[in-house]
Amino acid sequence: MQIRENKIDPRTKLTAVIIISSLAVFIRDITLLLGILLITFTITYALGNNPLMLVKKLKKLIWVFIAIIVIQSVFSSGTPIIRVANVTIFTVEGITKGLQLGLRMCIIVISASIVSTSSPREIVQGLIQWKIPYEIAFMVSIAIRFLPLFIEEIKDTVTAIQLRGIELDRIPIRKRIKIYSYVLMPVVASTLMKSKQLSVAMESKGFGIYPTRASFKKLKMVKADYLIIAVFLLGAFAIIKVYLY
């Protein structure tokens, strides 16, 4: 069963994301983290997100998760699992820490998609009505809008390299890292140029000339929003109580 996301105030979604992210950082129990991950996945699906897209997002980060688990296992002392010449390679505590960090990252990535069901303009308006300065809210809006463009430019640059006959999957890792450094340079340069053009356009339109800014659309929270926030707060309290006791 899916909920019509346009009925939920973006401030309610932001509150949910803050609560979920805070729990992910605070909780260290792997079982509870798995439960929070499952709940977060269910909420994002109920809000209309495609579960396959969420899985694809996590698949892109699978090597990051594996690297984190390996690094934590190597540099954490504890009960050894694998030893080579009296040198401990993997420990139980290291793998546990790696799994905790990997689950936290999954929860934060999936919870961020809760906010994506609202338009950037609604998110900015929600932040403004939270008494957050308009400049900061505007920066959040710009970040939301520029991130897809930034990712698209990276994809275009990689595609241009592949069209020249360079197969990135078959070259050594050291050379691949060097090529990716060449990819980032034009992307960063293009981003800086766009940000400069944007700042000139903002200055020419008198951005920030008035201390306050009028809004055409005002957000209003209804009973359902307060009920959802109350459920999240009670759920967070229950999880923390289970974790502590």
Type of residue found at 84: V
**How do the pLDDT tens digits run along the chain, 245 residues long?**
444 445 788 889 889 989 999 999 888 888 899 999 898 888 888 877 777 777 777 777 777 777 777 777 777 666 766 666 666 667 777 778 888 888 888 888 888 888 877 777 888 888 888 888 877 877 877 777 777 777 777 777 778 777 777 776 777 777 777 777 777 777 788 878 888 888 888 778 777 777 666 677 788 888 888 998 999 999 999 998 888 87
Per 3-state DSSP, the chain is made up of helix, strand and coil in percentages (nearest 5) of 75, 5, 25
Type of residue found at 8: I
- Residue 83 has φ and ψ, to the nearest 5°, of -130, 140
The C-alpha angle with vertex 22 and arms to 136 and 235, in degrees rounded to 5, equals: 120
DSSP secondary structure letter of residue 5: G
Whole-prediction pTM: 0.71
79, 97 Cβ separation under 8 angstroms: no
Structure-block tokens of residue 127: 């932040």
- Integer angstrom CA distances of residue 16 from 61, 125, 150, 226: 23, 17, 27, 11
